[in-house]
Structure 1
């Protein structure tokens, strides 16, 4: 689970995106920020609420040069069927990667042993393919896309402003910190 600051591993998968099946590789991810959004399975309960929440902020993420890749161990065919039948999933315009081989899920170390399903996990990858943050929750705990957006903005700010860090609850435009000897014990 020590994946922070490591480069994503090679992968190849087929995704469902905007009415088409498209191949996606690790090389396609490089050059822009990427969110990998793992979820256990299609046609379930918490998953569609999370994926719909993410679909609602996807246009904002795109404006920040962030691409989204949802990933489950279902096939791209299953993703299409779910997209065509669920009002919540029908809102999705981002990539829905089919990972039936488990390659991507195992690369990110979020495969549930002996189950064949991904954990509920989120990773932010920078344009060089380096993992900048990750979040993993238990089966019944859904994620919040607004908080993900805040973390993306913080990671992008830190990347663009070496020597500065974003404190807890930081929001875009708020004060940051410049760690130094002068700050030790004064926060």
Structure 2
């Protein structure tokens, strides 16, 4: 699996971006959001139970990420057509503000190292990628447990300080870097 310090691999995938006729799909590459922070999160399968709770929560927090100059990209091994159908029929997903990447060939999931060995679907992985394309954070859950999207926002805030941040640090609190400077 790719980890902190690795570069986001090259990729080109179809994505569902809208329910508006004629504007449903686009192609997204590693360069589509050059110079931005990227929150890339993967889920196992569309039309399941835990996945929509996470996807909807990322949608609710999309403005928080945008305020931090970050874009959210969702990813699974389902097709763009399955993503579109799911968004059409699931009330919590209809107005998603971020692309749902369709990695049908498993190329991106394989490059990231996040395919479940037995099931052949994406693990619940979250990557925070800096504006230069370097992975700064990775977390992975097994298939049965959803992630905490507020913690992803908090972690992004900490990285964006470019300072030492202690456990449970929250945006607006003093960093260790500033405490050490005051003590010195």
TM-score (normalised: structure 2): 0.91
Which blocks of at least 5 consecutive residues in structure 1 are unaligned? Answer: 159-163
Q: Secondary structure at the match of 1:175?
A: coil
CA distance in 1, matches of 2:150, 2:9: 28
Q: Of residues 20, 35, 41 in structure 2, which corresponds to 1:37?
A: 41
Q: CA deviation at 1:178?
A: 2.7
| Residue 18 in structure 1 maps to residue 18 in structure 2 | yes
Q: Aligned to 1:72, which of 54, 72, 76?
A: 76
Q: Is the 8 A contact 1:82 1:89 kept in 2?
A: yes
**18-27 or 129-138: bigger deviation:** 18-27
Deviates more, 1:36-45 or 1:11-20: 11-20
Match of 1:166 in 2: 165
1:103 and 2:102 correspond: no
- 1:48 and 2:47 aligned: no
Q: Is the 8 A contact 1:52 1:91 kept in 2?
A: no
CA drift at 1:73: 0.2
Match of 1:136 in 2: 140
Q: 1:30: how far off? A: 2.0
Equivalents in 2 of 1:43, 1:78: separation in Å?
Answer: 9
Relative distance call for 1:51 and 1:2 in structure 2 (3 A) is closer
Partner residue in 2 for 1:154: 158
Deviation at 1:43, TM superposition (A): 0.1
DSSP-derived class of the 2:128 partner: strand
Aligned residue pair count:
178
Q: Secondary structure at the match of 2:32?
A: helix
Structure 1 residue aligned with 2:5: 5
Q: Which runs of 5+ in 2 are unaligned?
A: none
Moved over 6 A (4+): none
116 and 2 in structure 1: CA distance in 2 versus 1, 3 angstrom threshold: closer
Structure 1 residue 175, shift from structure 2 partner: 1.2
Q: CA deviation at 1:2?
A: 5.1
Supply the distance in 2 between the matched residues of 1:91 and 1:171 (Cα, whole angstroms): 29
Shift of 1:114: 4.2
In the superposition, the TM-score normalised over structure 1's length comes to: 0.89
Q: Secondary structure at the match of 1:178?
A: helix
